[in-house]
Amino acid sequence: MNTPAHLIFGLTVFGKADAPKVNVAALAGAMIPDLSLYLLAFWHLQLLGTPADIVFGQLYFSDAWQSIFRIDNSMVLWGIALVIGIMWRAPILIALCGAAMLHLGLDFLLHNDDGRAHFWPISNWIFQSPVSYWDGDHYGNIVGPLEVLVSLICCGVLCGSRTGLCLLGDVWRWCIKKTRPTQNRVSLFHVAKSLCSACFLLGCVPAFAFFA
Protein backbone atom coordinates (compact mmCIF):
# COMPACT_ATOMS: atom_id res chain seq x y z
CA MET A 1 0.00 0.00 0.00
CA ASN A 2 0.95 3.64 -0.21
CA THR A 3 2.97 4.81 2.77
CA PRO A 4 0.60 7.67 3.75
CA ALA A 5 -2.22 5.13 4.09
CA HIS A 6 0.00 2.98 6.30
CA LEU A 7 0.61 5.99 8.55
CA ILE A 8 -3.10 6.68 8.85
CA PHE A 9 -4.00 3.06 9.58
CA GLY A 10 -1.17 2.64 12.08
CA LEU A 11 -2.17 5.75 14.02
CA THR A 12 -5.86 4.81 13.94
CA VAL A 13 -5.30 1.32 15.31
CA PHE A 14 -2.40 1.88 17.70
CA GLY A 15 -2.61 5.57 18.57
CA LYS A 16 -3.63 6.47 22.08
CA ALA A 17 -5.10 9.62 23.56
CA ASP A 18 -2.89 11.55 25.97
CA ALA A 19 0.12 9.45 24.94
CA PRO A 20 2.22 11.41 22.43
CA LYS A 21 5.13 8.96 22.62
CA VAL A 22 2.79 6.10 21.75
CA ASN A 23 1.42 8.07 18.79
CA VAL A 24 4.92 8.80 17.52
CA ALA A 25 5.80 5.12 17.93
CA ALA A 26 2.73 4.11 15.92
CA LEU A 27 3.67 6.49 13.11
CA ALA A 28 7.28 5.30 13.20
CA GLY A 29 6.26 1.65 13.07
CA ALA A 30 4.01 2.33 10.11
CA MET A 31 6.86 4.10 8.30
CA ILE A 32 9.94 1.99 9.02
CA PRO A 33 9.17 -0.92 6.64
CA ASP A 34 9.17 1.55 3.71
CA LEU A 35 12.01 3.75 4.94
CA SER A 36 14.86 1.83 3.31
CA LEU A 37 13.12 2.01 -0.07
CA TYR A 38 12.73 5.78 0.22
CA LEU A 39 16.39 6.23 1.17
CA LEU A 40 17.69 3.97 -1.58
CA ALA A 41 15.40 5.49 -4.20
CA PHE A 42 16.32 9.03 -3.14
CA TRP A 43 20.03 8.21 -3.35
CA HIS A 44 19.73 6.87 -6.88
CA LEU A 45 17.06 9.16 -8.30
CA GLN A 46 18.14 12.48 -6.81
CA LEU A 47 21.86 12.11 -6.12
CA LEU A 48 23.09 9.63 -8.73
CA GLY A 49 20.55 10.49 -11.42
CA THR A 50 19.63 6.87 -12.05
CA PRO A 51 16.58 6.58 -14.35
CA ALA A 52 13.35 5.63 -12.58
CA ASP A 53 12.80 2.58 -14.76
CA ILE A 54 16.19 1.25 -13.67
CA VAL A 55 15.52 1.97 -9.99
CA PHE A 56 12.08 0.38 -9.85
CA GLY A 57 12.46 -2.12 -12.66
CA GLN A 58 15.90 -3.54 -11.84
CA LEU A 59 17.46 -2.28 -8.61
CA TYR A 60 14.28 -2.85 -6.62
CA PHE A 61 14.43 -6.56 -7.46
CA SER A 62 18.21 -6.90 -7.07
CA ASP A 63 19.69 -9.16 -4.40
CA ALA A 64 21.34 -6.16 -2.74
CA TRP A 65 18.10 -4.24 -2.25
CA GLN A 66 16.04 -7.30 -1.38
CA SER A 67 18.60 -8.28 1.26
CA ILE A 68 17.77 -5.00 3.00
CA PHE A 69 14.01 -5.26 2.49
CA ARG A 70 13.83 -8.74 3.98
CA ILE A 71 15.18 -7.36 7.27
CA ASP A 72 12.92 -4.34 7.81
CA ASN A 73 9.96 -6.22 6.31
CA SER A 74 10.39 -9.40 8.35
CA MET A 75 7.19 -10.44 10.10
CA VAL A 76 9.34 -12.82 12.14
CA LEU A 77 11.56 -10.08 13.57
CA TRP A 78 8.75 -7.59 14.11
CA GLY A 79 6.57 -10.34 15.58
CA ILE A 80 9.22 -11.30 18.12
CA ALA A 81 9.63 -7.66 19.11
CA LEU A 82 5.84 -7.33 19.45
CA VAL A 83 5.66 -10.36 21.72
CA ILE A 84 8.42 -8.88 23.87
CA GLY A 85 6.51 -5.61 24.06
CA ILE A 86 3.37 -7.43 25.17
CA MET A 87 5.27 -9.45 27.77
CA TRP A 88 6.90 -6.30 29.12
CA ARG A 89 3.61 -4.40 28.89
CA ALA A 90 5.45 -1.63 27.04
CA PRO A 91 2.88 0.55 25.22
CA ILE A 92 5.47 2.33 23.07
CA LEU A 93 7.04 -0.92 21.86
CA ILE A 94 3.60 -2.43 21.26
CA ALA A 95 2.53 0.58 19.17
CA LEU A 96 5.79 0.56 17.21
CA CYS A 97 5.77 -3.14 16.40
CA GLY A 98 2.00 -3.43 16.08
CA ALA A 99 1.87 -0.67 13.46
CA ALA A 100 4.77 -2.32 11.60
CA MET A 101 3.01 -5.70 11.66
CA LEU A 102 -0.18 -4.08 10.35
CA HIS A 103 1.87 -2.50 7.57
CA LEU A 104 3.45 -5.84 6.65
CA GLY A 105 0.17 -7.72 6.81
CA LEU A 106 -1.45 -5.32 4.35
CA ASP A 107 1.58 -5.41 2.06
CA PHE A 108 1.57 -9.20 2.16
CA LEU A 109 -1.99 -9.23 0.81
CA LEU A 110 -1.65 -6.37 -1.68
CA HIS A 111 1.61 -6.94 -3.58
CA ASN A 112 1.54 -9.07 -6.70
CA ASP A 113 4.94 -9.22 -8.41
CA ASP A 114 6.71 -6.74 -6.12
CA GLY A 115 6.36 -8.46 -2.76
CA ARG A 116 9.10 -9.05 -0.22
CA ALA A 117 10.45 -11.95 1.85
CA HIS A 118 8.26 -11.37 4.91
CA PHE A 119 9.30 -14.59 6.64
CA TRP A 120 13.06 -14.03 6.71
CA PRO A 121 15.22 -15.42 8.36
CA ILE A 122 13.10 -18.58 8.37
CA SER A 123 12.49 -18.45 4.63
CA ASN A 124 13.22 -16.25 1.61
CA TRP A 125 9.87 -17.20 0.07
CA ILE A 126 7.93 -14.27 -1.42
CA PHE A 127 4.17 -14.52 -1.62
CA GLN A 128 2.68 -13.38 -4.93
CA SER A 129 -0.76 -12.09 -4.08
CA PRO A 130 -3.46 -12.19 -6.76
CA VAL A 131 -4.39 -8.67 -5.63
CA SER A 132 -2.32 -5.51 -6.08
CA TYR A 133 -2.94 -2.09 -4.56
CA TRP A 134 -1.76 -0.34 -7.74
CA ASP A 135 -1.67 -2.75 -10.69
CA GLY A 136 -4.88 -2.54 -12.71
CA ASP A 137 -4.29 -6.04 -14.05
CA HIS A 138 -4.65 -7.33 -10.50
CA TYR A 139 -7.62 -5.31 -9.22
CA GLY A 140 -5.58 -2.19 -8.47
CA ASN A 141 -8.34 -0.09 -10.02
CA ILE A 142 -10.62 -1.38 -7.25
CA VAL A 143 -8.20 -1.58 -4.34
CA GLY A 144 -6.78 1.92 -4.96
CA PRO A 145 -10.08 3.80 -4.49
CA LEU A 146 -10.94 1.55 -1.53
CA GLU A 147 -7.61 2.49 0.06
CA VAL A 148 -8.45 6.17 -0.30
CA LEU A 149 -11.97 5.64 1.08
CA VAL A 150 -10.76 3.74 4.14
CA SER A 151 -8.04 6.35 4.69
CA LEU A 152 -10.66 9.11 4.68
CA ILE A 153 -12.82 7.17 7.12
CA CYS A 154 -9.84 6.66 9.42
CA CYS A 155 -9.05 10.38 9.24
CA GLY A 156 -12.63 11.10 10.25
CA VAL A 157 -12.27 8.72 13.18
CA LEU A 158 -9.03 10.38 14.22
CA CYS A 159 -10.46 13.88 13.93
CA GLY A 160 -13.44 12.89 16.06
CA SER A 161 -11.48 10.94 18.66
CA ARG A 162 -9.40 11.99 21.64
CA THR A 163 -6.38 10.49 19.90
CA GLY A 164 -6.74 12.91 17.03
CA LEU A 165 -7.44 15.85 19.31
CA CYS A 166 -4.44 14.98 21.48
CA LEU A 167 -2.29 14.76 18.36
CA LEU A 168 -3.42 18.25 17.40
CA GLY A 169 -2.55 19.35 20.93
CA ASP A 170 0.89 17.79 20.62
CA VAL A 171 1.51 19.70 17.41
CA TRP A 172 0.31 22.90 19.05
CA ARG A 173 2.58 22.46 22.07
CA TRP A 174 5.50 21.67 19.75
CA CYS A 175 4.92 24.94 17.95
CA ILE A 176 4.81 26.86 21.22
CA LYS A 177 8.17 25.40 22.21
CA LYS A 178 9.61 26.56 18.87
CA THR A 179 8.77 30.19 19.60
CA ARG A 180 11.37 32.48 21.09
CA PRO A 181 11.47 32.61 24.92
CA THR A 182 10.96 36.36 24.86
CA GLN A 183 7.72 36.10 22.93
CA ASN A 184 4.49 36.25 24.85
CA ARG A 185 2.40 34.72 22.13
CA VAL A 186 2.75 32.22 19.33
CA SER A 187 3.81 33.75 16.04
CA LEU A 188 1.59 33.51 13.00
CA PHE A 189 4.29 31.45 11.29
CA HIS A 190 4.19 28.75 13.95
CA VAL A 191 0.40 28.74 14.05
CA ALA A 192 0.37 28.18 10.30
CA LYS A 193 2.97 25.44 10.63
CA SER A 194 0.87 23.80 13.34
CA LEU A 195 -2.22 23.82 11.16
CA CYS A 196 -0.32 22.49 8.15
CA SER A 197 1.16 19.65 10.20
CA ALA A 198 -2.23 18.74 11.62
CA CYS A 199 -3.89 18.82 8.21
CA PHE A 200 -1.16 16.64 6.76
CA LEU A 201 -1.58 14.00 9.44
CA LEU A 202 -5.34 14.07 9.82
CA GLY A 203 -6.82 15.19 6.55
CA CYS A 204 -4.56 15.74 3.58
CA VAL A 205 -2.58 12.51 3.62
CA PRO A 206 -5.19 10.50 1.68
CA ALA A 207 -4.66 12.82 -1.27
CA PHE A 208 -1.06 11.68 -1.45
CA ALA A 209 -2.21 8.07 -1.27
CA PHE A 210 -4.62 8.70 -4.15
CA PHE A 211 -2.18 10.43 -6.48
CA ALA A 212 0.94 8.36 -5.61
User: Are the beta carbons of 189 and 127 closer than 8 angstroms?
Assistant: no
Helices H, strands E: what count in the chain? 10, 0
pLDDT score recorded for residue 158: 82
- For residue 127, which phi and psi values (nearest 5 degrees)? -75, 130
Name residues whose C-beta falls within 8 Å of residue 151's C-beta, 6 or more positions apart in sequence. Answer: 4, 5, 8, 9, 205, 206, 209
pLDDT value at residue 71? 96
Contact 121/76 with Cβ under 8 angstroms?
A: yes
Q: How far is CA 28 from the centre of its chain?
A: 7
100's CB contacts (< 8 A; 6+ apart) are: 10, 29, 30, 32, 33, 78
Determine the pLDDT at residue 177.
58
Residue-level pLDDT, tens digit, the chain, 212 residues: 899 999 999 999 998 878 889 999 999 999 999 999 999 999 999 999 999 999 999 999 999 999 999 999 999 999 999 999 999 999 999 999 999 999 999 999 999 999 999 999 999 999 999 999 989 999 999 999 999 999 888 888 887 766 555 555 555 555 455 544 444 444 444 444 444 444 445 444 443 433 33
Distance, in Å, from the CA atom of 32 to the CA atom of 129, rounded to the nearest integer, reads 22
Specify the pLDDT at position 89: 95
